[in-house]
């Protein structure tokens, strides 16, 4: 199992790790990629690099699924991770870093800060993964509807704050 925990005093932080799986890329691409980004996807790993960069960013902002991922524009895989566009926040100051989790996974970290950040990765041991944010917002009705169309029932689900998982 893979887990990512991010702690920062430089700014709000978001982190995402995804298992690289071929099966769902075609179906998920329109929900994740901006039109200009689709041409930069040479394989499954590239798609998940885009996804994790965007997910980390919307978690750091606290927007989560309230922001459609195709409207969040990031630099292409194979280039230094950068924010190129974020809806309603022109010039969003954020630092993005690709993470190197275990084989078969990709990950990204976002810190809302204009200054560069130092990232230290550690690994080892068996862990469970949870999802939470530092500023959770209610689920957007459009996100619930889209997920329902994809066979995912979010009825009764609520975003969680990080404090839920801190002992």
pLDDT digits (tens, 9 = 90+) for 37-47: 999 999 999 99
> How far does the chain reach from its first CA to its final CA, in angstroms?
21
Q: Is 48 exposed, middle or buried (0-12, 13-18, 19+ CB in 10 A)?
A: buried
Distance CA 18, CA 11 (A): 23
Distance CA 73, CA 48 (A): 14
Q: Is the pLDDT at 150 greater than 70, yes or no? A: no
**pTM for the full predicted model:** 0.73
Q: Is 139 exposed, middle or buried (0-12, 13-18, 19+ CB in 10 A)?
A: middle
Give all strands (DSSP E) within the chain, no chain letters.
Answer: 13-19, 73-74, 83-85, 95-99, 105-111
Integer-rounded Cα radius of gyration of the chain: 15
What tens digit of pLDDT does each residue of 89-137 get? Answer: 988 999 999 987 678 888 899 999 988 887 776 665 444 445 566 667 7
Using CA atoms, how far residue 93 sits from 2, 54, 73, 110, in Å, is: 28, 14, 14, 10
Three-class SS state of 106? strand
User: Cα 97 from chain centroid?
Assistant: 11
């Amino acid at each position: 199992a893979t887990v990512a925990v991010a702690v920062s005093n430089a700014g709000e932080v978001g982190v995402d790790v995804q298992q690289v799986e071929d099966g769902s890329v075609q179906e998920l691409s329109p929900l994740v990629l901006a039109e200009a980004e689709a041409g930069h996807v040479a394989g499954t790993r590239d798609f998940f690099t885009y996804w994790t960069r965007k997910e980390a960013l919307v978690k750091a902002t606290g927007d989560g699924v309230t922001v459609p991922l195709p409207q969040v524009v990031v630099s292409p895989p194979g280039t230094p991770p950068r924010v190129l566009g974020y809806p309603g926040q022109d010039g969003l100051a954020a630092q993005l870093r690709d993470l190197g989790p275990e084989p078969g996974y990709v990950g990204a970290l976002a810190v809302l800060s204009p200054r560069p950040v130092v990232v230290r990765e550690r690994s080892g041991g068996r862990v469970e993964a949870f999802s939470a944010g530092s500023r959770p917002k209610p689920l957007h009705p459009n996100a619930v509807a889209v997920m329902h169309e994809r066979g995912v029932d979010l009825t009764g689900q609520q975003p969680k704050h990080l404090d839920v998982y801190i002992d």
